[in-house]
């Protein structure tokens, strides 16, 4: 198992990365939550990784934060949730808010995520609720700053806007670029960012 990669960031084209480690280029798939935190090309990068072995391929997944990888590993244990859907979930919602939705049995929040229908949302809640509750109580690295009574951190408005665009069917790269082009996005509410981003996409 390859658990950690440190090297030079050579390429980044969501969801794919290429990291040069001592002359060897590792192709890695990563969620948008990791892409938001990547350095510039040519800079040193460290990722927590998970190697998925299939009959036809070995696929390496990378995460900027350890808690992202922890949640990814728990997601792919759920019946019907593969690595691709797990990456989509991590690209669309902050881990703290996802855990909160699971513990509060909030299927309505989960079905807003791309690729999640009512049955999948219910399955996520049923299969993950007990494990995530244990992590809250035990101070797991997934959620080191929260206790069971804490409120989840509010997602950044820009990330919320990107998630909404993904839910509308736009590709991660399109959604990210459109939001980044919004002027004064740091001071705007999510709805305002989405409206401006949609105008950018329509150009």
Instruction: Specify if 151 maps to a domain.
Output: no
Task: Extract the tokens encoding 173.
Answer: 């790269």
Query: Would you list the DSSP string of 154-202?
Result: PPPHHHHHHHHHHHTT--HHHHHHHHHTSTTGGGS-HHHHHHHHHHHHH
Q: What is the mean pLDDT of residues 9-23?
A: 92
Domain that holds residue 166: 157-202
DSSP lists the bridge partners of residue 48 as 4, 63
Name the percent of the chain lying above pLDDT 90. 27
Spell out the long-range contacts of 138-142 with Cβ–Cβ below 8 A and sequence spacing 24 or more. 140/70, 141/66, 141/67, 141/70, 142/66, 142/67, 142/70, 142/71, 142/95, 142/99
Evaluate if residue 29 carries a pLDDT over 90.
Answer: yes
Domain count, the chain: 3
Choose the weakest-confidence range: 34-48, 119-133, 155-169.
155-169
pLDDT of residue 24: 94
* pLDDT higher at 201 or 105: 105
171 shares its domain with 108: no
* pLDDT higher at 163 or 58: 58
Query: pLDDT category, 60, cuts 50, 70, 90?
Result: very high
Query: pLDDT category, 199, cuts 50, 70, 90?
Result: confident
113 shares its domain with 57: no
CATH of the domain at 176: 1.10.8.10
CATH of the domain at 36: 2.40.50.140
Instruction: Specify if 123 maps to a domain.
Output: yes
Q: What is the pLDDT of residues 127-179, one digit of tens each?
A: 988 888 765 554 444 444 444 334 333 346 777 777 777 766 777 777 778 88
DSSP 153: P
Chain Cα centroid distance, residue 150? 21
77 shares its domain with 119: yes
**pTM for this model (two decimals):** 0.67
pLDDT of residue 138: 45
End-to-end CA distance of the chain: 45
DSSP 40: -
Query: pLDDT category, 18, cuts 50, 70, 90?
Result: very high
133 shares its domain with 71: yes
**Secondary structure percentages of the chain, helix, strand, coil, to 5:** 45, 20, 35
Chain Cα centroid distance, residue 101? 15
pLDDT of residue 20: 95
Do residues 65 and 38 lie in contact, with contact meaning Cβ atoms separated by under 8 Å?
no
pLDDT of residue 143: 43
Element (H, E) at 88: helix 83-92
Q: What is the mean pLDDT of residues 95-111?
A: 86
DSSP lists the bridge partners of residue 29 as 16, 61
Nearest-angstrom CA–CA distance, 28 and 26:
6
Instruction: Specify if 146 maps to a domain.
Output: no
């Amino acid at each position: 198992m390859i658990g950690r990669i440190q090297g030079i960031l050579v390429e980044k084209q969501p969801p794919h990365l290429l990291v040069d480690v001592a002359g060897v280029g590792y192709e890695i798939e990563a969620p948008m939550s990791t892409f938001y935190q990547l350095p510039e090309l040519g800079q040193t990068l460290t990722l927590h990784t998970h190697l998925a072995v299939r009959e036809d391929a070995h696929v390496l997944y990378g995460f900027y934060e350890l808690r992202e990888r922890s949640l990814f590993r728990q997601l792919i244990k759920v019946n019907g949730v593969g690595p691709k859907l797990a990456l989509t979930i991590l690209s669309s919602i902050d881990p703290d808010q996802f855990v909160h939705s699971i513990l509060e049995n909030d299927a309505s929040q989960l079905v807003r995520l791309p690729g999640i229908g009512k049955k999948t949302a219910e399955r996520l809640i049923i299969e993950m609720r007990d494990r995530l509750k244990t992590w809250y109580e035990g101070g797991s690295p997934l959620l080191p700053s929260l206790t069971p009574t804490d409120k989840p951190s509010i997602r950044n408005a820009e990330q919320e806007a990107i998630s909404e665009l993904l839910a509308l069917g736009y590709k991660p790269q399109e959604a990210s670029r459109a939001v980044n082009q919004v002027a004064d996005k740091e001071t705007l509410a999510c709805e305002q960012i989405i409206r401006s981003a949609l105008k950018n996409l329509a150009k």
